[in-house]
Amino acid sequence: MKKKLILVSALAGLFLLGGCQSGSSATEEKVIRVGTEGTYAPFSYRDEQNELVGYDVEVAKAVAEKIGYQVEFVDAPWDSMLAAFDAEKSDVIFNQVSITDERKEKYDFTIPYSVSHASLITNEQDDTITSFADLKGKKSAQSLTSNYAVLAEEYGAELVSTDGFSKSAELVANGQADATLNDDVTYYDYINQQPDAPLKLVQVSDETTEVGAMLHKGNDELIEEINQALQELKDDGTLTELSTKYFDKDISK
C-alpha cells in the first residue's frame, strides 16, 4: 500500500480550537520528513549557529523545492536515524546511504547523487596495517549498521561500535581502535578541519560506491518525483556546484 506523506494545514490550530471563521479556507502545504544524521560533516552537520547544513542537507532542500515540498529534518545518529525511519517517523533519508543489494531488499533507492571510494584509515604511528587485508584480527571503529562495518568484517576485523566517523577517528587517534573504514571524501574533510589529527590514509579502493536517497517500499510516485528532480539538478549543474562548495571536487558523478 502506498504510504502518504504528512499534510500540514496552515490553519490546523484554528480548527482544533474550533475558532475557524466562516468563509476561511485552510491552505495545505506538503511536508516531506527527511532523515539525516546531523553529525556527519561535511554531508550533514550543525554549524556554529546550530543550523543543519552540509552537502546532503542542501541536496535534500533542492530536491524538495523542485517537487514542491517543505522539508522537516529528522536528525539523529546513524543507528537511531535508521530506527526512526523504520518506524516511519521520516519519509526519506539523505545521508550518504550506499546503494547495496542487501538494502534494496528492504528499501527503495533513487538514482545516485554522489559516489565515493572506501578508504582505510589508521593511526599515523601504526606500520602494521598497510592494506585492507591487514585488518584481520584488528579492531575497526565503525557504525555497526553501516556498509563500512560490513566491509571491515569481511576483511576479518573486530568491530568497535561508534556513532559516526568523528568518534571512530577519535578512537583510532587515541589507540582504542586500530583502524576505521569510511569514504575518502569524509577523511579528507576531517583532516582539513583537524590537520593535527594523528591519522593517515593507508589505502583507497578502486571500486566506487553509489549513494542515493533511501525510501520506504511502495512509494513509487515519490521516487519518480525525486529521481526527476535529481536528474534536473545534475543537468543544470546544481549538484556539481554543491560538490565544489563542500569538497572542492565533483562527487556527484
Letter string b/e over residues 124-149, b meaning 16 or more CB atoms within 10 A of that residue's CB: eebeebeebebbeebbbbbbeebbbb
Cell output for 145: 549498521
Contact in structure between 218 and 2 (CB atoms under 8 Å)? yes
Q: For cell 599515523, name the residue.
A: 124
pLDDT of residue 14: 32
DSSP letter, residue 11: T
Of 22, 2, 5, the C-alpha closest to 14 is 22
C-alpha 242/C-alpha 240 separation (Å) is: 6
DSSP letter, residue 132: G
Contact in structure between 183 and 114 (CB atoms under 8 Å)? no
Q: Output the tens digit of pLDDT for each of the chain's 253 residues.
A: 444 454 443 333 333 333 333 333 345 789 999 999 998 888 999 999 999 999 999 999 999 999 999 999 999 999 999 999 999 999 999 999 989 999 999 999 999 999 989 999 999 999 999 999 999 999 999 999 888 999 999 999 999 999 889 999 999 999 999 999 998 888 988 888 899 999 999 999 988 889 999 999 999 999 999 999 999 999 999 999 999 999 888 999 8
Contact in structure between 26 and 1 (CB atoms under 8 Å)? no
Parallel/antiparallel/unpaired status of strands 7-9 and 28-36? antiparallel
CB atoms within 10 A of CB 98: 22
Per the rule left: phi > 0, alpha: psi between -120 and 50, beta: everything else, 156 is left
pLDDT of residue 164: 87
Dihedral, CA of residue 29, residue 30, residue 35 and residue 39, to nearest 10: -30
C-alpha 180/C-alpha 202 separation (Å) is: 11
